[in-house]
A and B are shown apart, each in its own frame.
Chain A
């Protein structure tokens, strides 16, 4: 296990690289879902505003 974490001495480079990539992967998922939610909310608001007009 320790050998795994140590990455043959390259731990200081390998793990940050994986961390950065993983962060970008997760962030993209979060952003995408948030963007969709925001669009849906905006669409709902537009519909409500129009619905109130006679």
Chain B
């Protein structure tokens, strides 16, 4: 159903040609960034063909959020107290769900192999794929989070803080998750194992993210946890694609 690795190979080949065209002045990094950009665009294009699939994690997020008023209490004051935790747990679970799609199609149709064999930097390609994944799931989640927060009694003033914290935190979550997803490539029903691998590593994000959201709702200074979240995201950006690339190579052996 998915076309085999040809489009991917073409993508990377054109990046290589661009490299060659540029001649002696072209640096390997430039080629890698071009390849990464093309991979990112490809992922976005392919994802938009299956728009239904994109909505699923978001619907899941909304549903999980809704469970808590029903399971606990409709009292807004109580819900407001739980809101940071509910939003973050729901976001974490939703992004875990979405992680299964990160490599699945590409591993299935051989694109991932093409990426690994292409001679382009696999690390940059992993960064591109993870970036696409964030744009398709993390960012929408961040934009939906205020709605969830409002439904749980959060004040209007808190909404920018909530979007900000979930946006930054979900970057880190996508990056951390990419490692687990790469390690469990090709495993059938890897969902539970993927969660077991990713959740412990995501705990710092959860802790700082929930704290930032909590401060946003209560009107306190959320700069400190937000900065820590940012630090985690930066650390993730630096290290996770490398680890994911290594994991992909191992999984494809």
Any A–B CB pair closer than 8 Å: no
Interface residues of B (CB under 8 A from A): none
Interface residues of A (CB under 8 A from B): none
